[in-house]
Amino acid sequence: MEKNSSKLLCIENIFVFVCLFWGLLFAVLTSPFQAPDEPEHFFKMWGFTQGTLKYQLKDNWVGVYAPKNLVEIYKIYNQYRWTYKKIPTEVNFYMSKVPLDRQDKVFFKYNAPEYTPLSYFPSFLVLWVLKLLNVAPLMMTYLLRVSFLLTYIALGYVALKIIPCKKWMLFLVQTLPIVLSQSASINTDAIFFGIVFIFFAYTLKLAFDENIKKIDKKEIVIWGILGVLVSILKFAYAPLLLFYFIIPKEKFENTKNYYKNFLFVLILQLLVLFLFSYCVMSKDVYRSEYYGINTKTSIIFWEMIKHPFEHLYGILYTTVMYIRMNFYYTNTISSIGTTFTTIPLFATNLYWFLLILSGVYSPLGEKKYFTNWKNNLIITVSLVFVYCMIVTSIYLVYQHYPFMRGMQGRYLTPLLPFLLLLLSFKNFRLENKIIPACIFVVSQFLLGVTLICYVVKFY
């Protein structure tokens, strides 16, 4: 009986319960189309259900042919997206009764994101079924949110199951308000967060699991697939592949295989990036009336290559500006709706304290990992490269200089586990048994605070 009880209370199962409880509440309380980029991803998925892998065009504008009622509902809610106004209850009540009527279609111009169906799997299949069943648009929205949440829970469970150490650190990052809220909305973040966390956990498993004496081809294939998936889902995170080098050479047959395996995965990843870049940069169409920009991305890209120091200045200037605005500090932890509302500062401070605590904490008897300068250098270089690519991708899309607007804190959130590894000090670590209980209890209190913020924000 005690053994069954301990299995039930293992950290992976606790994660499932926590995500289901808070994630479902966030999904229900967030008003329709009010999560970051939610309408854009919804219409992108709608295009996939019509067999369109990219997007549809009309008069050189990006868009999609969608039911007129669906477009009208979006336009009603869009009036509230970038404001602090609350949506009246009667609006929600009326919109919930509007049928889909998928035969009456119109062309809708919108800022179509550049993602493959993989970024929405399996939720775009759920949308396809809901469309066939003629489910009302508002009901579709909530069911799709649940679908994304369940996908994230499954992936997060696997990550916690396989990671050999730092489980409470990963648990805390996986249940941050911004992670749960994004995973419980119509967004690519659910599967992306999950895959990045699995990639992180599996790399640590290969590096530090004492049961893995020698790494065979099967394990490298799994690691390579995860690394390539990260690139497919969001190409800016491709440099995380460098995380490979924390794996000791001694676990490979010889040094030649050590570098050959990495080179093989790197070539696959570069091929994926090339194909993606070619598809994106070859476009000569307008993205949306809202942004009013022409995505001749190839021209912008080559201008950036010709003037690398100017681009580097833009990255540094953008970084300084966001740090001055306290943006990274707050929005990496939480962001409610599209107006960048965050949880109170005291709650953000507490979360950062817990994150640092979880990074320093190690269970009794756990080996001292990540203590050499080489591992720390590899992690630091990887994160710097990823950050530069994130800011560069923002610049290619929105074309603002020198302040490259468009950054969101959630872009940095999946990097937190990697960053927190740098807190594993050789001569100092906390091993107190009370620390996991503190992390759990305080984090649940802070999620309760986040829930109150959702109620205040939307109701």
Span 263-281, pLDDT tens digits: 999 998 888 877 766 665 4
Percentage with pLDDT > 90 across the chain: 64
Q: How many distinct structural domains can be found in the chain? A: 1
286 within domain boundaries: yes
2 within domain boundaries: no
SS3 335: coil
Single pTM value for the model = 0.93
**Residue 42 pLDDT > 70:** yes
Least confident stretch, 49-63, 193-207, 358-372, 412-426: 358-372
- Alpha-carbon span 403 to 406, nearest angstrom: 9
248 within domain boundaries: yes
Question: Mean pLDDT across the chain, nearest whole number?
Answer: 88
Q: Give me the pLDDT at residue 291, please.
A: 46
76 within domain boundaries: yes
Q: Say which DSSP state 418 is in.
A: H
AA identity, residue 294: N
Q: Give me the pLDDT at residue 290, please.
A: 45
- Alpha-carbon span 419 to 53, nearest angstrom: 35
Give the closest residue to 358 by CA, choosing from 80, 106, 165, 140.
165
Give the closest residue to 337 by CA, choosing from 212, 456, 221, 202.
456
Find all residues with CB under 8 Å of 64, minimum gap 6, and list them. 43, 44, 46, 47, 50, 52, 55, 56, 107, 108, 110, 112
Structure tokens at 382: 């990887």
AA identity, residue 72: E
Between residues 363 and 243, the one the model is more confident about: 243
**Residue 428 pLDDT > 90:** no
pLDDT in tens, 70-107: 999 999 999 998 888 899 989 999 999 999 988 899 99
Range of the domain at 167: 11-458
- Alpha-carbon span 135 to 127, nearest angstrom: 9
4 within domain boundaries: no
- Alpha-carbon span 89 to 458, nearest angstrom: 10
1 within domain boundaries: no
- Alpha-carbon span 114 to 143, nearest angstrom: 23
3 within domain boundaries: no
Q: Give me the pLDDT at residue 432, please.
A: 74
Structure tokens at 245: 């080098």
Q: Give me the pLDDT at residue 162, please.
A: 96
432 within domain boundaries: yes
